[in-house]
Structure 1
Amino acid sequence: MMPVLRTRPFRVAVATAAGLVACALGFFAWQSFYPVQASDGWGVQVLHDSVDKAASLLPERDGSLLVSRELNSGRGSILRITAGGDRVVVVDGLSKPDGMVAVAGGWAFSQEVGGAPVSVSRNGQVRMLFQGNNVQGLFNDGDYLYAIEDRKGDGRLLRYDWRTAQLDVLRQGLSETEGLTRCIDGRLLYTEKANGKVRAYNPEGTDPVVVDGLNNPTFLFCDQRGLWISEDSTHRARLLRIAGDGSRHTVLSFLKAPQAIVADGQGGYLVAEGGRDRVLRLTPSTPVDVATLSPRE
């Protein structure tokens, strides 16, 4: 009888441990595969799938969509998906291409690795603009191209003058700064990912916090609906909208590492969900006047 008494607790312990492991695995699987949820007033659907590490998005006038695929070690690229669904790589051999914005006659893009340039593509030709270190976010206002570096403690906020090609350092000593945009009140905003904050660049002093309490905020976008923030979190990430009165609205939940959000030109938005290798379309339930939603620069 004694061996049986000694074995029974061992079997119970093993069964309990196995049950805990199974529950943990089930929980993580649930987080990974649970479908994205849209809040009331919004609908979401998959627009393009099988887009490896989708990061930045840039809709073109002919209905095509440029998507940066944030792969490392020269495996990254910028992909054009035509209105008909055809896919063509337009720039390859990149390392973690991340930020991408429209510029006069083409588009500019960054690479989030040390020593990689910020470049411009025009008429199929790529030209380096300036050197950076782990540049992620870009914002273009026509006169200047702003760029921000995602580094730990020595990141910089940069401003490139299109007319003179002069590069100015507006801020240095930044840590894990990723997203960059200008909002309707004229402020230039950027994210601090690890701190869960969005700050406003203040040329005359300390950059104030305008939003905090976020979970790994990354890309930013601003229009008449407010400030949009995607959370670069592996599980249960959100797409948030900060309205003009400061109220917070969770528009999408259960995302996996979402990246850029851009207007689709039809009153809705496109969201790169890098963790699931796809591009989502977010549409409002009530039609709106598209002209009122243009980003304000």
Structure 2
Amino acid sequence: MTQSLNHHRALRCILAVFALLSAATLGFFAWQSFYPVRAADQWRYQVLHRDVAKAASLMPMADGSLMVSQELDDAKGSIVRIHPDGTRDVVVGNLSKPDGMFATRGGWVFSQESADLPVSFFKDGVVTELFRGESVQGLWDDGDYLYAIEDRKPVGRLLRYRWSDQSLTVLRDQVQEGESIVRCTDGRLLYNEKKKGVVRELSADGSDPVVQAGLNQPTFLMCDARGLWINEDATHRARLLLIDQQGRQQTILSFLKAPQSIVPTGHGTYLLAEGGRDRVLELTPPPTTLAHE
């Protein structure tokens, strides 16, 4: 009888410990999910738009509206236009993980991060297929060429499409989870490898030196007068980093959840897509920095 009671007590203790550990684990993840975003000193942010499912790429329009890709899979994704009054229109629907967007040639191009789906050009309500890739994410256009990068495991490609003759060139074919490509103000063309946690410079000799390392799942890149912006596509405690012109790294936002693109608004602030929380943030820099902007 005594042995049986001891057995039941031990079992209850084990179950109690297991329940406490489970509660602590759930509490930890809940804390990480709901802990508020923190901004660096003198930087401020506000939630501009909510309920933007899997917000990915952002493209401010001249009329004050905002184009947003909603990165849902299985033809449930879309590109929506959010008007200044908050109303929304679906511009392109039935997409699978629409991701990169870039304004060019009087319209804009967009990618779909799913297998064997096209990079397309949208203009005057018409969608035209340009070329196909495998899980294409980031896009960059310099007028003559459109660059695209594939977010594939174990390796993807960095592609260059020439508008003049519709030719497609594979520039790199061993990119590990490439997500973004961007031309910086100093002329460098940079791309990232999410799995390796690095940002590289595309070089003529093919060496592609690492310009930033030790990152936590880097995703979207953006360059401006302040330097190189890097978002970390982590589910918990992700950061928005700024590498200034002198190479100094600053954490501008922390405790983000799967942030994606960041873009300037044209009036001194930035917009950031926080896909893990289905929202768009507006980021305001300190009033004393780059006062000439």
Q: How high is the TM-score relative to the length of structure 1?
A: 0.95
Indicate the percent of aligned positions where both proteins have the same amino acid.
Answer: 59
Instruction: Indicate conservation of the 8 Å contact 1:144/1:162, yes or no.
Output: yes
Deviation at 1:291, TM superposition (A): 6.6
Instruction: Indicate conservation of the 8 Å contact 1:184/1:224, yes or no.
Output: yes
The separation in 2 between residues aligned to 1:7 and 1:92, in whole angstroms, is: 59
Instruction: Indicate conservation of the 8 Å contact 2:263/2:272, yes or no.
Output: yes
Deviation at 1:151, TM superposition (A): 1.1
Instruction: Indicate conservation of the 8 Å contact 1:267/1:287, yes or no.
Output: no
Residue matched to 2:130:
129
Deviations, residues 131-153 of structure 1 (Å, cap 9, x unaligned) = 11111000111221111111124
| Aligned ranges 1:137-286 → 2 under 5 Å | 137-286=138-287
Instruction: Indicate conservation of the 8 Å contact 1:265/1:290, yes or no.
Output: no
> After alignment, is 181-190 or 217-226 more displaced?
181-190
Deviation at 1:268, TM superposition (A): 1.4
Instruction: Indicate conservation of the 8 Å contact 1:102/1:108, yes or no.
Output: yes
Deviations, residues 255-294 of structure 1 (Å, cap 9, x unaligned) = 11100110111111100011111101111131666874xx
Deviation at 1:171, TM superposition (A): 1.0
For structure 2, list consecutive stretches of 5 or more residues without a partner in the other structure.
none
Deviations, residues 202-234 of structure 1 (Å, cap 9, x unaligned) = 121211111010111000000011100111111
Q: AA paired with 1:70?
A: E
The separation in 2 between residues aligned to 1:5 and 1:119, in whole angstroms, is: 69
Deviation at 1:200, TM superposition (A): 0.7
Residue matched to 1:40:
41
The separation in 2 between residues aligned to 1:61 and 1:228, in whole angstroms, is: 23
Instruction: Indicate conservation of the 8 Å contact 1:267/1:290, yes or no.
Output: no
Deviation at 1:161, TM superposition (A): 1.7
> After alignment, is 266-275 or 8-17 more displaced?
8-17
Residue matched to 2:60:
59
Instruction: Indicate conservation of the 8 Å contact 1:267/1:289, yes or no.
Output: no
The separation in 2 between residues aligned to 1:187 and 1:8, in whole angstroms, is: 67
SS of 2:165's equivalent in the other structure is coil
Residue matched to 1:82:
83
The separation in 2 between residues aligned to 1:82 and 1:291, in whole angstroms, is: 28
The separation in 1 between residues aligned to 2:266 and 2:28, in whole angstroms, is: 38
Deviation at 1:12, TM superposition (A): 2.0
SS of 2:152's equivalent in the other structure is coil
The separation in 2 between residues aligned to 1:210 and 1:253, in whole angstroms, is: 22
Q: AA paired with 1:234?
A: T
Q: RMSD across aligned C-alpha pairs, in angstroms?
A: 1.4
Q: AA paired with 1:104?
A: R
Instruction: Indicate conservation of the 8 Å contact 2:155/2:177, yes or no.
Output: no
For structure 1, list consecutive stretches of 5 or more residues without a partner in the other structure.
293-297
Instruction: Indicate conservation of the 8 Å contact 1:267/1:288, yes or no.
Output: no
Deviations, residues 45-90 of structure 1 (Å, cap 9, x unaligned) = 1100001110000000100100000011111110000111110000
> After alignment, is 279-288 or 2-11 more displaced?
2-11
Q: Report the count of equivalent residues.
A: 292
Deviation at 1:130, TM superposition (A): 1.3
Residue matched to 1:22:
23
Q: AA paired with 1:53?
A: K
The separation in 2 between residues aligned to 1:221 and 1:101, in whole angstroms, is: 12
Deviation at 1:11, TM superposition (A): 2.1
The separation in 2 between residues aligned to 1:191 and 1:249, in whole angstroms, is: 18
Q: AA paired with 2:152?
A: R
Deviations, residues 164-215 of structure 1 (Å, cap 9, x unaligned) = 3222211112220111111122111111111101111012121111101011
